[in-house]
Amino acid sequence: MANDNNSNGGPAGRIKTGIAGLDSMLYGGIPENSQFIIAGGPGAGKTLMCFDILYRNAKKGVPCAFIALEEKPEDVIRNAKAAFTEYTDIDELIQSNMLVVDGEDPATRISEQEDSETYSFGNIMSDVEAIAKTNNAKLVAIDSFSVLRMLIGDNLKYRKSILAMINNMKRLGITSLITTEIKSSERKDIKFGIESFVFDGIITMYQNGQEDKRTLTLEIIKTRGTAHSWTLSPYDITAQGFRVFSLEQ
């Protein structure tokens, strides 16, 4: 691995998440200009993890954009403040335009015209691109891709649409984190969809155990073109952000 460092303190060609255990599992961080899926069931913390990574990078001077497709932007901010109570400068980062939080309910984009599925998907992705350009974001989170999946029922159209989205992100020099729901929070029941084959990386978050005693764990399923840890690591969500307890540390 190269010894040169990029602007936010990571190895050249990588963007550090800022979460020490996760960066260790990624062998230095997320490869620049790659598009990663953050998958998990309800309550796993997908949205919060994306916000945490963007927050940590924005503090280091990397322009970031969080694009909400299922919640109002103000709800995303409020939930992040409630979870990360020691992040007292969230508003400051937003006001300085280092961290943009924006979005729109995709239901308002559904068109009545022919091929409205692809039309709506394309319009949403145009909005995503426009939001990212407001501060020349280098790191973008989209929450959640599951909403976009519902817009296109045909698998071939869906695959073509997400490939076009990935190519646009790469053309703009954007590294993205895209959340998606999985039907089961148990590792043994996970089934991978089309997204798993076309995106550059996958981080999957699980809730294991019984209802009264559940353990949060994550693993890196895939990082295209580079090595990564294969261990299953526990994590916690604290007032100071995520903690990943990796054996790689």
Structural domain contains residue 5: no
- Euclidean distance between CA atoms 30 and 182, whole angstroms: 22
Local confidence pLDDT in tens for the 249 residues of the chain? 333 444 444 445 999 999 989 999 999 999 999 999 999 888 899 999 999 999 999 999 999 999 998 889 999 999 999 999 999 999 999 999 999 999 866 555 544 444 555 657 778 888 889 999 999 999 999 998 777 777 777 788 888 888 888 999 999 999 999 998 886 555 555 555 666 678 999 999 998 776 667 789 999 999 998 999 999 999 999 999 999 999 876
| Overall domain count for the chain | 1
Residue 52 in any domain: the answer is: yes
Give the integer Cα–Cα distance in Å for 31 and 34.
Answer: 6
**Residue 44 in tokens:** 């796993």
Q: Could you tell me the CATH number of the domain that includes residue 151?
A: 3.40.50.300
Structural domain span for residue 151: 14-244
6 assigned to some structural domain: no
* 92 CB-side CA count, 13 A: 6
> Considering the entire predicted model, what is its pTM?
0.87
* Residues 6 and 16 sit within 8 Å (Cβ to Cβ): no
Q: Is residue 50 part of a domain?
A: yes
Q: Is residue 76 part of a domain?
A: yes
Q: How far is CA 90 from CA 55, 80, 94, 98, 101, in A?
A: 7, 9, 6, 10, 11
